[in-house]
Amino acid sequence: MTGTVRLERQGAVGILRLDRPPVNALNREMHGDLLAAAQEARDDPAVRSVLLWGGERAFAAGADIREMADLEPDVVVEFGAGLTRSIEAVAALPVPVVAGISGYALGGGCELALAADLRIAAADARIGLPEITLGVIPGAGGTQRLARLVGTARAKELIFTGRPVTGSEAAAIGLVTRAVPADSVYAEAFALAERLAAGPTAALAAAKEVVDRGVELDLASGLALEGRRFAELFGTADQKAGMASFLRDGPGRATFTGR
């Protein structure tokens, strides 16, 4: 498969590979390719987790400024909508999504990484939302997802100044799940995605939905949603296998089929 973003499969892990050298700048073509690849992953029942990977040099260094610089506001609306649609398609995947971040994840690249459920970053990666230094603000989810991850005060500091953080600082403030040596990012991120792919697919989808939707609901509504999804899982083969394994062998030994 060709294109600036493609879906590769390794076992039950779908790898969304960003491939627009030199630094995966997110242009219109990439918006469309990312959307198509995310939809392909969504529609493939064999894909039980997704790894976002841009390569060792850069996850994605941001939107293509050369393409954007002279756009008028009415045209920017559609440009921004295309990027937002593609990022939302990644965020909405019903399986766990892990981002492996090496090099740069800036601007739109950071916004894409924020759409993942978990992020493994190189300790020396540079992650941030520098849009303010261009006279604009993040426009594809950055202001909203960053604040939900690190809190409004920290998000404002990073957005107002445009200051990038290293992977190590990102881990310390909760922006990424953990920071690792640069040469082990892919292996660590893939191992996490592979572990999640072996989990109970319906339960993981339910957990993702309840957490993502629950933070937007009042507590009573969130608890009600959790209760419904909890009960529904008792109709799955993975629930039967998980509880039978617990009774027979103790915790953490079940083999799940994704059904």
> Residue 237: left (phi > 0), alpha (psi -120 to 50), or beta?
alpha
Give CA–CA dist 56/209, Å, rounded. 31
Q: Which residues are catalytic?
A: 111, 131
Number of DSSP helices (H) and strands (E) in the chain, helices first:
11, 9
- Which pTM value belongs to this model? 0.94
Phi, psi dihedrals of residue 134, rounded to the nearest 5°: -105, 0
> Residue 174: left (phi > 0), alpha (psi -120 to 50), or beta?
left
Q: What DSSP element (H or E) covers 4?
A: none
Tell me if 256 is assigned to some domain. no
Tell me if 74 is assigned to some domain. yes
Q: Are residues 57 and 148 in the same domain?
A: yes
Give CA–CA dist 105/121, Å, rounded. 10
Contact predicate 160/137, CB 8 Å? no
Q: Are residues 180 and 231 in the same domain?
A: no
Q: Are residues 217 and 155 in the same domain?
A: no
Domain count, the chain: 2
Q: Are residues 139 and 13 in the same domain?
A: yes
Determine whether 45 is exposed, middle or buried from the number of CB atoms within 10 Å of its CB (0-12, 13-18, 19+): exposed
Tell me if 167 is assigned to some domain. yes
In the prediction, which pLDDT does 2 show?
63
Tell me if 254 is assigned to some domain. no
Please give the order of strands across the beta sheet that includes 104-106.
104-106, 126-128, 165-166
Range of the domain at 118: 5-197
Per-residue pLDDT 10s for the chain (259 aa) are: 469 999 999 999 999 999 999 999 999 999 999 999 999 999 999 999 999 999 999 999 987 778 777 777 777 788 878 899 999 999 999 999 999 999 999 999 999 999 999 999 999 999 999 999 999 999 999 999 999 999 999 999 999 999 999 999 999 999 999 999 999 999 999 999 999 999 999 999 999 999 999 999 999 999 999 999 999 999 899 999 999 999 999 998 999 999 9
Contact predicate 102/125, CB 8 Å? yes
Secondary structure (DSSP) of 159-216:
HHH---EEHHHHHHTTSSSEEE-GGGHHHHHHHHHHHHHTS-HHHHHHHHHHHHHHTT
